Structure 1
């Protein structure tokens, strides 16, 4: 390339410098020859260097080929060794399975038992004492081989300690959170693995914070530390769920809370029940007294009094006995109807209340469900607590309606039967009076006919 450029330059100079001298042309030719010689020498050096590099690369390639052959040979040997080892391992695994037998299943049972014991310690009142067995239990759980006799013995000791300690009644000192949020150490009695008893009664143990606090509510017969010390052999109430049932006890509403949940409809139903029971009580007492007076009057029919229905009917008979049989019968029937109206006074109201109570309960149910659907519309149905108010009102009003209707209906049935018995007694006595009067009239008629026949004879 350099030579070509020099030639082009020379030609250019020759063209440009047509009038140059011969000396200048000779000098220029010499320079071109010198440059050509230099370029040739440089090319020879490059060719020699390329040959050396080619020889070095070939030597390197031969060396790498030898190494590759050696590695492939070693790889083949390792593959054969690996295959042989796999066959040996498979045979050894078969031998291990035959040798262990059911120990593999036993190993799984042991690991599960260790997990259960560890979890039981973490969620029990023996958590602090159970920490001494954590290292042994962790080894049993995390081991990949059959547990050794030492580990099995440690697991057995952890289980035995829990059973033994869980059956003891022992005094303890524990941190107690008061109502103002302050914590103090109090003396308590650990009843096995079930409960902690203090002077305030049973306390709730927080496993995460390792502190105790009061339950929201306790049963009336729940013991205290003082009562237990007075009589250690007494039978006491224990929550076997370690406090779950005692926590739920606080969520059980009282009767007044149930009534408040029923709302206005529930209060109306209770008012109907109270009024109906008062009417039933008053009418029941009145009917019993009336029946006693009638029984007393039946023993003395010749002395009727106005303080009882039968006496008033007898007085009507005595006043109207000179009338004809038909007139007397109508008068007695009128008197019996008047007495029947007095006997059944208030019973229709009881029947109305008995029918109205479940209808009001249904009204409360519908109202509660409407409120529930409104809450669902506003907040969705993801949280059941949001819907609990309306559903509770719906169910409670239904229950109140049925509870109110049943005694009112029963009272109406009993009082109606008693009034019916008294009415039947009055009708029977009235019919007997009419029959007696008819017999008298018949005897008089027969006697007159006999006298008339004798006179004609």
Structure 2
């Protein structure tokens, strides 16, 4: 109360002008009025508070009255929940026990479908039955319990694959040519091993179908394929090549380079080796034919020693001996030796060149090997060893030039040996006949000449 009076006095002191003196009675009346107003306000507040308290008490009694049945209901529901939970747990255990074999069956079906899908993905049998791919994919991806129809379908597909493995059948299917065109053709399938259309071997590509091999096998395989394709039912047994790896060997065949590609792998050095080899073989062939002709004329001349012919070395040597005369054996010997020496270079012509080419070819192969290894190391420096294809070019050049050098050198060495043997045979005949000529001349001159 004292605080209220103090505040009111302070307010009046501020509100009253400094010139006017405060009136104690008016001030007392104002204080009394303020006190009465404050008491009225507090009374109103107390009345409202009591009214609210009673209302809240009433609401509290009503809430407690409503809470009691709810709590009873909650207890009942909790008890029922616990009971149902126990029942559910028991049912789950029972279901797990009873569904163990069923779950195992589902897993087995999925695994069997997945394995068959992997086999059928690149099998030639799928080219005849392309619809089975989607059926197997559906069975392998399904998480639900398979129906009786699905189990029968899986059994049928397994039986189909096993049966088709031992059959040779004909069917029509679209075939993709190496140029990308597709057309319907009659296909002969030999089990899961090979499929041919006419004389063309085919391979099966998932998502594409049958495609003709870009490079066909040789060795009479295409002839056998054409014969099998043209054979009708009941025509007997026909030989046929098969791929026991179910296409792996044929795929490697496509990647195997041909002769022209092998030669191109040799690069510039390989081209030089080929030129040297061709030149050496031409020279050896020309000289061999010449020696054969000379040997044939020399043998004919041996039958007619008394009539020397100028078309062969022996005839020219005998003619030179006759021209020298028999009175001077020493002059005869010189003439005959000169004639023999004049014939020897012609008989040994081109042999040193062939020998040189045979020696140069392996050296060029070694040069190509060094060049190829340099290219390989450059590829390793630039690209590392992560991609072997980047090094394949240099390695191919290194190996092919070595092979080409040996392939050229070996025949040239044999050719040189054959030419040398033939020329030595003719030279030996010339020496024998010249020795006989000198011996006869010495006998005629009475032993005065040189034997």
Report how far residue 429 of structure 1 moved: 5.2
2:127 counterpart SS class:
coil
**1:202 & 1:297 partners in 2: Cα distance?**
61
Deviations 1:330-354 (CA, angstroms, capped at 9, x unpaired): 6655444333322211101101211
Q: Is 1:31 paired with 2:34?
A: yes
Is 1:423–2:427 an aligned residue pair?
Answer: yes
TM-score when normalising by structure 1: 0.64
- In the alignment, the residues of structure 2 paired with residue 226 and residue 297 of structure 1 have an alpha-carbon distance, to the nearest angstrom, of 58
Residue correspondence of structure 1 range 289-300 to structure 2 within 5 A: 289-298=293-302
Pairwise CA distance, 1:309 = 3.7
What residue number does 2:22 align with? 19
Question: Does 1:284 pair with 2:288?
Answer: yes
Contact 2:202 2:212 in 1 (8 A): yes
Root-mean-square deviation (CA, aligned residues, Å) is 5.8
CA deviations over 1:71-113 (Å, ceiling 9, x no partner) = xx99xx99xx89x99xxx8xx99xx99xx9xxx8x99877544
The Cα of 1:413 is off from its aligned counterpart by 1.8
Distance 1:207 1:11 in 2: 106
Aligned to 2:229: 228
Matched, 1:10 2:14: no
Paired residues of 1:121 and 1:127 also in contact (CA < 8 A): no
Secondary structure of the equivalent of 1:125?
A: helix
Q: Does 1:354 align with 2:358?
A: yes
Tell whether 2:120 aligns with 1:117.
Answer: no
Q: Paired residue for 1:338?
A: 342
Please give the secondary structure, in 2, of the residue aligned with 1:128: coil
The Cα shift of 1:407 comes to 0.8
* More displaced 10-residue stretch of structure 1: 37-46 or 281-290: 37-46
> Aligned ranges for residues 4-403 of structure 1 at < 5 Å?
6-13=4-11, 15-16=13-14, 17=16, 19-32=22-35, 34-35=37-38, 38=41, 112-123=111-122, 124-130=126-132, 134=135, 155-166=154-165, 167-172=167-172, 174=174, 186-191=184-189, 193=192, 194-195=194-195, 197=197, 201-202=200-201, 207-208=206-207, 214-218=212-216, 221=222, 228-229=229-230, 231=232, 233=235, 234-236=238-240, 249=253, 253-260=257-264, 262-298=266-302, 304-317=308-321, 319=324, 322-323=327-328, 332-367=336-371, 392-403=396-407
Deviation at 1:150, TM superposition (A): 9.0
SS at match of 1:287: helix
Q: Given the superposition, is the C-alpha separation of residues 248 and 331 from structure 1 closer, same or farther in structure 2, using an over 3 Å criterion?
A: same
The gaps in structure 1 that reach 5 residues or longer are 446-457
Distance 2:420 2:394 in 1: 39
The answer (yes or no) to whether the contact 2:187–2:196 under 8 Å persists in 1 is yes
Contact 2:329 2:438 in 1 (8 A): no
Distance 2:227 2:295 in 1: 59
Contact 1:196–1:203 under 8 Å retained in 2: yes
Residues 109-160 of structure 1 show CA distances to partners (whole Å, capped at 9, x for unaligned) of 77544322123334332443536x937x865886799x99998766443221
> How far did 1:46 drift?
7.7
Contact kept, 8 Å, 2:372 with 2:398, in 1: the verdict is yes
With over 3 angstroms needed to count, the CA separation of the structure-2 counterparts of 1:267 and 1:125, relative to structure 1, is: same
What CA distance in whole angstroms lies between the structure 2 residues aligned with 1:428 and 1:30? 175
Q: Which moved more, 1:10-19 or 1:224-233?
A: 224-233
- Segments of 5+ residues of structure 2 without an aligned counterpart are none
Q: Does the Cα contact within 8 Å between 1:175 and 1:186 map onto a contact in 2?
A: yes
In structure 1, C-alpha distance between the alignment counterparts of 2:205 and 2:225, rounded to whole Å: 20
Q: Is the 8 A contact 1:118 1:134 kept in 2?
A: no
2:349 match: secondary structure: coil
SS in 2 for 1:189: strand
Whole-angstrom CA distance in 2 between matches of 1:372 and 1:178: 32
In structure 2, do the counterparts of structure 1 residues 158 and 443 end up closer, same or farther at CA, with 3 Å as the change threshold? same
In structure 2, C-alpha distance between the alignment counterparts of 1:9 and 1:178, rounded to whole Å: 111
* Cα distance between partner residues in 2 of 1:304 and 1:222: 59
Whether the 8 Å CA contact 2:178–2:213 is kept in 1: the answer is no
Distance 1:351 1:243, change over 3 A: same
Question: Contact 1:195–1:239 (CA<8 Å) still a contact in 2?
Answer: no
Deviation at 1:290, TM superposition (A): 3.5
Q: Single out whichever of 152-161 and 106-115 deviates more from structure 2.
A: 106-115
Using the TM superposition, give the Cα deviation of residue 15 of structure 1 relative to its aligned residue in structure 2, in angstroms. 4.1
Distance in 2 (alpha carbons) for counterparts of 1:29 and 1:269: 136
